[in-house]
C-alpha cells in the first residue's frame, strides 16, 4: 500500500499518480480485461443498483469483493485527497470564495 507522508506538492502528486497506476494494475492483474469502471460498476451492482447495461457480469461478486483491489483503491483515494488538500487547502479550491 502506498501511504506515505509527503511534504511537497509534487511529491503528493507523484504519490497519487503512483497509487492510481497501482490500482489500475491490480484490477487488470486480478481480472484481465477489466478496468476501474468495471470494478465500480460491479460494486454498485452488488450493492443493489441497476447499472448492468450490456456488461459481462459473471465476475461481479468476485470483482467487487476483491480485497487487494479494495486496498489499492483505498490507498489511491487517501493519497489523492492528500494531494488535493496540499494543493487547494482545507476548504478546497472553491473554499476561498466562502
- According to the model, what pLDDT value does residue 96 have? 67
> What is the tens place of the pLDDT at every residue in 30-44?
999 999 999 999 999
Give mean pLDDT, residues 5-10.
Answer: 78
Looking at the structure of the chain, the number of domains it has is: 1
Task: Report how far residue 73's alpha carbon sits from residue 37's, in angstroms, rounded to the nearest whole number.
Answer: 12
Looking at per-residue confidence, does 58 or 8 come out higher?
A: 8
- pLDDT exceeds cutoff 50 at 1: no
Task: Report how far residue 59's alpha carbon sits from residue 73's, in angstroms, rounded to the nearest whole number.
Answer: 18
Please report whether residue 98 resides in a domain.
no
In this prediction, residue 6 has a pLDDT band, given cuts at 50, 70 and 90, of low
Please report whether residue 2 resides in a domain.
no
Please report whether residue 96 resides in a domain.
no
- According to the model, what pLDDT value does residue 51 have? 67
Residues 6+ apart with CB under 8 A from 59: 31, 34, 42
Give mean pLDDT, residues 47-54.
Answer: 70
Q: Which residue has the cell 488535493?
A: 84
Please report whether residue 1 resides in a domain.
no
Please report whether residue 37 resides in a domain.
yes
Residue 85: give the domain boundaries: 9-90
Residues 6+ apart with CB under 8 A from 10: none
> What is the tens place of the pLDDT at every residue in 58-87?
888 999 999 999 999 999 999 999 999 998
Please report whether residue 34 resides in a domain.
yes
Amino acid at each position: 500500500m502506498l501511504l506515505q507522508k509527503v511534504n511537497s506538492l509534487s511529491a503528493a502528486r507523484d504519490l497519487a499518480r503512483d497509487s492510481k497506476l497501482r490500482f489500475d494494475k491490480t484490477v487488470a492483474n486480478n481480472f484481465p480485461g477489466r478496468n476501474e469502471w468495471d470494478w465500480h460498476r460491479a460494486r454498485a451492482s452488488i450493492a443493489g443498483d441497476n447499472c448492468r447495461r450490456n456488461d459481462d457480469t459473471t465476475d461481479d461478486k468476485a470483482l467487487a469483493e476483491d480485497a487487494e483491489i479494495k486496498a489499492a483503491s483505498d490507498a489511491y483515494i487517501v493519497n489523492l485527497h492528500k494531494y488535493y488538500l496540499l494543493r487547494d487547502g482545507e476548504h478546497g479550491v472553491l473554499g476561498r470564495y466562502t
